[in-house]
Structure 1
Amino acid sequence: MDAPGISTGRHTTQRHSSAYLAAGDPDDPVLLLVHGWPEHARSWAGVMEPLAAAGYRVIAPDMRGYGASTVHPDPSDYSIEEGVADMIELLDHLGAAPGTATVVGHDYGAPVAWNLATHHPDRLAGVVGVCVPHTPPGTSLADHVDRRLYPVEDYPLGQWDYLVAHARMPERLAAEFDADVPGLLASIMRAGSPRALERPAPNASVRARGGWFPDGPPRHDPDPRVLDDAAFAALVADLERTGFAAANSWYRNNRENDAYAARAVTGGRIAVPALFVHARWDAVCATLTTTAADPMRAACDDLTEEIVDAGHWVAQEQPEALVAALRGWLSRGSA
């Protein structure tokens, strides 16, 4: 990173090596930022220094299979349980005392954050999910689809079809993405708009098409509202180096993830203070136009909700608004 207030670090154990970015005073409480697919630690760069200025030691790791962290060889290495274990090892390395750290997860980082809260509530002061709500054991986001937009006969899983596609055609999707990483990222990492909520998302018909973009990505110029040239080049370079077989494997452990969630010490409840950040124009998660957030609301003891006017890539598209939502919640003593 070329930002003067952000440094790099690494923690290595026998099972995994986590590379991470850090900002803030090492003596301040840890604020752990967990990215999702297909990103890396640098995805949080726009929010790290402002959050550090609020009095936090802000840590953004490359999740396993991404960036400079270990790329493990087996798809089973990318279960949520393994991701949670990585975060516990990182908190230990940072010296985070029990009950002092706050974890923020976006996209696939959100299930890691939620499961950290249900399996290790003693380690946390609070938990934040961005875009992806908590799904307690026995619930599924596919049960909360807007059937006016996604008729069941045409879209049985609604916008969540891509989740099954990753499990059913993993080699085909990895090869498709690896063939044109810049085109893939330029096509999917676009700023949100109200129009995105008016038509079915491309994610809803991946299996029917035989891929996300089987005829090639439709765009090749990045959206500067989400990624500037330097951020785009850095993400492309990382994903071209690590490959998508690893990144996509996070979607290939559904049965194991369900069993792990069912073993949570809280029974799936979120007992620590929680914040959920809705992205108003996120056409996939669609938490403001469906009932997807209802199971989370029922399972949280202390939940705050905020809305950011952005598409799915909240931290890049609207970093100031995300920082404001986080700082407001943190300043109220929620975590």
Structure 2
Amino acid sequence: MTQVTQRPPFAEGSPAGTFQAAGLVRRRTVQAGVLEVPILEAGSGPLVLCLHGFPDHAASWAGLLDRLAQEGYWAVAPAQRGYWPGGAAPDGSYRASATGQDVLALIEALGRRQADLIGHDLGARAAYAAANLDATRVRKLVGMAVPYGPQLRNAWVADGDQQRRSWYMFFFQTAMAQAAVELNDFALIDRLWREWSPGYELPETERAALKETLRAPGVVAETLGYYRQLFTPPADEETRALEARAGGAISVPSLYLHGADDNCMSVGLSAGMEAVFKSGFQRVAVPGAGHFLHLEQPTTVADHILGFLNS
């Protein structure tokens, strides 16, 4: 079911490259459904998938992959659809249901019946959707930085503070968005990282690796699709029904982590999430962390995750 590529799908200068040199993190591609998905992996044991968001890539999980591997897990971080040349959505969809189906296809392609899911930002959205589409394939779920439930959509309509924080989503609907993202060596991406995680500076080698991912042909145009499909319902009935399934109450044990200083998504938006989780739910606000909490407070975040997965 798997196919190894000779061309590294992630930048050599990325955190993944560093860990790979030490033999801890490996790189290959996996045929999952109709996509050949680049993955990073470490360890062996129960499967844990780590799902990245925007503006990010799978390599930022390298530290957590190492920690999970040391604790006896098979930790895998795939690239999300659209994040590599040739990885454009085959059906044109960047909706939650499509990325959730990608997660389920990868679990199957890796030869496992079930996996734990850890999702950050849009990766959290994919994890929520996968758990709803087939709860039998998800043992435990960890969401980070993007809450689940109606409160976020309500905030986009009625909460001026969150509307300010989410300005980039509205800007990405415009025709000039791609040129603006790419301008001056992705200066807008640097700005988002600074604003969303105040006080945190992404190391230069990791910043360069992220920009290399975004600079690959077609990637920025595809990743904008996640936002350009965010506020409009699907045109066809089949996709509308699938989206409805992907957005129901979640029936697997779940942990939610949110940086207390997140300047992208207000930590207050996670209040009340327990109403849509039916099999146990824990919520933790991580002090001293903004939006990219798994990088800002890696030990604390990993401790919370492992405590939950091992319980």
TM-score range, shorter chain: 0.7 to 0.9
State the shift of 1:246 in Å.
1.0
State the shift of 1:125 in Å.
0.5
Per-residue deviation, residues 67-86 of structure 1 (Å, max 9, x unmatched): 46613487x33222221222
Query: Which residue of structure 2 lines up, in the alignment, with residue 42 of structure 1?
Result: 59
Q: 1:261 aligns with which of 236, 240, 243?
A: 243
Q: 2:154 aligns with which of 135, 143, 146?
A: 143
Q: Distance in 2 between matches of 1:192 and 1:82?
A: 26
Q: 2:119 aligns with which of 85, 96, 105?
A: 105
State the shift of 1:226 in Å.
4.0
Q: 1:321 aligns with which of 286, 300, 304?
A: 300
Query: Which residue of structure 1 lines up, in the alignment, with residue 282 of structure 2?
Result: 304
AA partner of residue 303 (structure 1): F
Instruction: Please state whether the residue corresponding to 2:93 is helix, strand or coil.
Output: helix
AA partner of residue 261 (structure 1): E
AA partner of residue 47 (structure 1): L
AA partner of residue 304 (structure 2): A
Query: Which residue of structure 2 lines up, in the alignment, with residue 177 of structure 1?
Result: 181
User: Percent identity between the aligned chains?
Assistant: 28
AA partner of residue 222 (structure 2): A
Cα distance change, pair 14–29 in 1 and its aligned pair in 2 (3 A): closer
Q: Distance in 2 between matches of 1:326 and 1:226?
A: 23
Query: Which residue of structure 1 lines up, in the alignment, with residue 99 of structure 2?
Result: 83
Instruction: Please state whether the residue corresponding to 2:179 is helix, strand or coil.
Output: helix
Give the stretch that moved more between structures: 10-19 or 121-130: 10-19
Q: Distance in 1 between matches of 2:310 and 2:32?
A: 34
1:159 aligns with 2:165: yes
Q: 1:240 aligns with which of 209, 215, 229?
A: 215
AA partner of residue 56 (structure 1): Y
Q: Aligned-residue CA RMSD in angstroms?
A: 2.6
Q: 1:128 aligns with which of 111, 132, 142?
A: 142
Give the stretch that moved more between structures: 252-261 or 52-61: 252-261
Runs (5+) with no aligned partner, structure 2: 1-16
| Structure-2-length-normalised TM-score | 0.82
Matches within 5 A, 1:18-37: 18-25=37-44, 28-37=45-54
Matches within 5 A, 1:204-243: 225-242=200-217, 243=219
Q: Distance in 1 between matches of 2:134 and 2:68?
A: 24
AA partner of residue 273 (structure 1): P
Cα distance change, pair 24–298 in 1 and its aligned pair in 2 (3 A): same
Instruction: Please state whether the residue corresponding to 2:222 is helix, strand or coil.
Output: helix
- 1:226·1:316 contact (CA, 8 Å) conserved in 2? no
AA partner of residue 85 (structure 1): Q
Cα distance change, pair 258–296 in 1 and its aligned pair in 2 (3 A): farther
Query: Which residue of structure 1 lines up, in the alignment, with residue 8 of structure 2?
Result: none
Instruction: Kindly tell me the number of residue pairs found equivalent between the two proteins.
Output: 283
State the shift of 1:192 in Å.
6.3
